[in-house]
Amino acid sequence: MKTRPDVSVVTPSYNQADFIEDAIQSVLGQTGATFEHIVVDALSDDGTAERLAKHPHLRVVREADRGQSDALNKGFALARAPIVCWLNADDYLLPNAFSEARRQFQTHPDAAAIFGHYYLVDSQRRLIRSKRVPPFDASVCRHFGVCAPTSGSFFAADVLRDSRFRLDEDLSITMDWDLYQRLADAGLRLVQVPKFLSAFRIHEGNKSIGEADVDRPERRRLEERRLAERDQFQKRYVSGRESRLHRLHPNLPYHVHHIRFVLNKAARLYYLRNALDRLRTSLVLPAGAA
């Protein structure tokens, strides 16, 4: 019987042959934890299969699917470890991500997810921007979509096995926002690590860039779903004072939450740091610099 690994990495894949090697090597380079790496590939035809075949340690599932959410759900169901890392095929982990995630789950055994800062890089792994993520705020996530990264984040396997938190396979872009909203609604804990754990690659084939026409309708659908749940939200989460605000105008409590977020010290530091990162990048890294 195989020993249960410490971390299961799940990578959904479709025609990312140019980048998937970086993802694989970033997992192989981790220390401080045993792992399995599950790649769910949707019958890529760009040479991905040949690249995957060079790595016998991979657990590869090659079959047609309904999209990235379907592929991830399949991978999550196969995961044997207590900690599951969501890693897209065009992204990669930074050194010590495994050891940091394990340490955080040991410190916070009730955590549903662990996430950290990340780098935005181009197709050649050149730095575009550093993204420092503020501590998770459930109210902000519910109403404004400011949540946390997913690729390069770590989840408690028991949470992902819960039918309440299966990724919505009808969503191809905003399934991460939807997942975090449901985790927030359930009152589960998401822990921010003040360290850089991963790199998110920006390139021409990136879904979040190339499918804006899909992203907008999906976001509208999620917003409509939230509006349909407004009465339930009012009963469960909104204080008496905010209920009075709601009677004045339905959206007023949400704007109050947003103002509180902006005035929050952690949020101010988040925006300040990102502004400084953009300035530093423009001054220190000339165009084309490695």
CATH number at residue 44: 3.90.550.10
Note the pLDDT of residue 287: 41
Q: Is residue 258 part of a domain?
A: no
Q: Is residue 280 part of a domain?
A: no
Q: Is residue 204 part of a domain?
A: yes
Note the pLDDT of residue 6: 98
Phi and psi of 105, rounded to 5°? -70, -30
Any residues with CB less than 8 A from the CB of 82 and at least 6 apart, and which?
4, 6, 105, 156, 157, 158
Note the pLDDT of residue 138: 79
What pLDDT tens digit does each residue of the chain (290 aa) get?
Answer: 578 999 999 999 999 999 999 999 999 999 999 999 999 999 999 999 999 999 999 999 999 998 999 999 999 999 999 999 999 999 999 999 999 999 999 999 999 999 999 999 999 999 999 998 888 887 777 666 657 888 999 999 999 999 999 999 988 888 888 899 899 889 999 999 999 999 999 987 665 554 445 555 655 665 556 555 555 544 554 455 545 555 555 555 555 555 555 555 555 566 566 667 656 655 544 444 43
Q: Is residue 265 part of a domain?
A: no
Note the pLDDT of residue 109: 96
Amino acid of residue 147: C
- Number of structural domains, the chain? 1
Rounded to the nearest angstrom, the gap between the alpha carbon of residue 233 and the centroid of all alpha carbons in its chain is 24
Note the pLDDT of residue 252: 53
Taking Cα atoms as reference points, which of 123, 127, 132 lies closest to residue 284?
Answer: 127
